[in-house]
Copies of this chain bind each other. A is one copy, B any other.
Amino acid sequence: MSASLPPIPEPHESLESPELLELGPSVEEQCLRADAARNRARLLEAAARLVAEHGAATLTMEAVAAAASVGKGTVFRRFGDRVGLLTALLDHSEKKFQAAFLGGPPPLGPGAPPVERLRAFGCASLRWSVEQLELQLAAERGPDRRYTPPPRLLRNGHLIMLLRQVVPDADCELLAQTLMGYLDPALVHHLTKNCGMPLDRLEAGWIDLVARLTRTDPPPTGLRIELAPAVEPPC
C-alpha cells in the first residue's frame, strides 16, 4: 500500500523562515544528482511548452514524459503526482508574489498602514490569479488538502498578522479564512468567466469587504490601487 517513491519529493521549503524568504535556485534544484537535476529541468520545460500549446486541462503525464524523452516513473518520482507537477510550474511566479507582499515596496510590502496593505494584498492577489487562472485551477488539490499547502498557509498567516493590527479583539484566524475564500481562484474563475464580472468589480468588492470586516471606513472610491508592474508578466 505504501509507495517506493519518496512521499514528499518537493519539500516546498517555505515556512522554515516565516517572514524571510530566499529566492534563487531554491531547495528543490540543489542536492539532486546531476542527471536528476537535468531531467527535472527538461520536464518542467516540456510541461510548460505542452501547457502553452494545449492547455493545462489536457496535459497528461505520459505526454510530458515523452516530450522530455524521459520515463514515466521519473516524472512521478520528481513531482509526486500530477498536481505536484502543475504546482511546480506555478512555483516561480508564486515565489515572486510572496516576495512582493512579504518584503516588497508598500503598499503591498511593509511600510504602509495595515488596512492599506490588506487592500493591496487582495487586489494584487486577484490580478495575479487572473493571469494564471488555468494553471491555478488545474493545480488545485483535493478537498482535504486544499487548505494545507505551504503557500496558502503563508498568505493566511500574512492576513492574520495584518488583521491583528487592525482588529485585535476579533477572531482573526476566521476572518483571514473568510478573506482567503474571496480570493479562491476557482471563485475568481466562476465570477469572471461564468458570471461575466469584470476584475474591477471584484477589486471593489474586496475593498468593501476589507472595510466591513475591519469596521473601518472605505477609502475614497475610484482610485485604482497602484502596484508594481501588473505583478509580473508570465515569463
Q: Are B147 and A194 in contact (CB under 8 A)?
A: yes
Q: Are A171 and B205 in contact (CB under 8 A)?
A: yes
Which listed segment binds B: A40-48, A90-98, A176-184? A176-184
A187 contacts B by Cβ under 8 Å:
yes
Tell me how far the C-beta of A92 lies from the nearest C-beta in chain B, rounded to whole angstroms: 21
Q: Are A209 and B147 in contact (CB under 8 A)?
A: no
How does the 8 Å CB contact mask read for A147-190 relative to B, with 1 for contact and 0 for none?
11000000000000000000000110111011001101111011
Q: How many copies does the complex hold?
A: 2
List, in ascending order, chain B residues with CB within 8 A of A170's CB.
208
Q: Are A143 and B185 in contact (CB under 8 A)?
A: yes
Partner of A143, one of B140, B144, B177: B140
Q: Are A186 and B137 in contact (CB under 8 A)?
A: no
List, in ascending order, chain B residues with CB within 8 A of A215's CB.
212, 215
Q: Are A146 and B186 in contact (CB under 8 A)?
A: yes
- A selection of 27 A-B contacts at a CB cut-off of 8 Å is A137-B143, A137-B144, A140-B143, A143-B185, A143-B189, A144-B189, A146-B190, A147-B187, A147-B194, A170-B208, A171-B201, A171-B204, A173-B195, A174-B201, A174-B202, A174-B205, A174-B208, A175-B209, A177-B182, A178-B209, A181-B182, A181-B187, A209-B213, A212-B213, A212-B215, A213-B213, A215-B215
Query: 5 closest A-B pairs (Cβ-Cβ)?
Result: A181-B181, A174-B205, A147-B190, A143-B186, A137-B143
What residues of chain A have their CB less than 8 Å away from a CB belonging to chain B?
137, 140, 143-144, 146-148, 170-171, 173-175, 177-178, 181-182, 184-187, 189-191, 194-195, 201-202, 204-205, 208-209, 212-213, 215
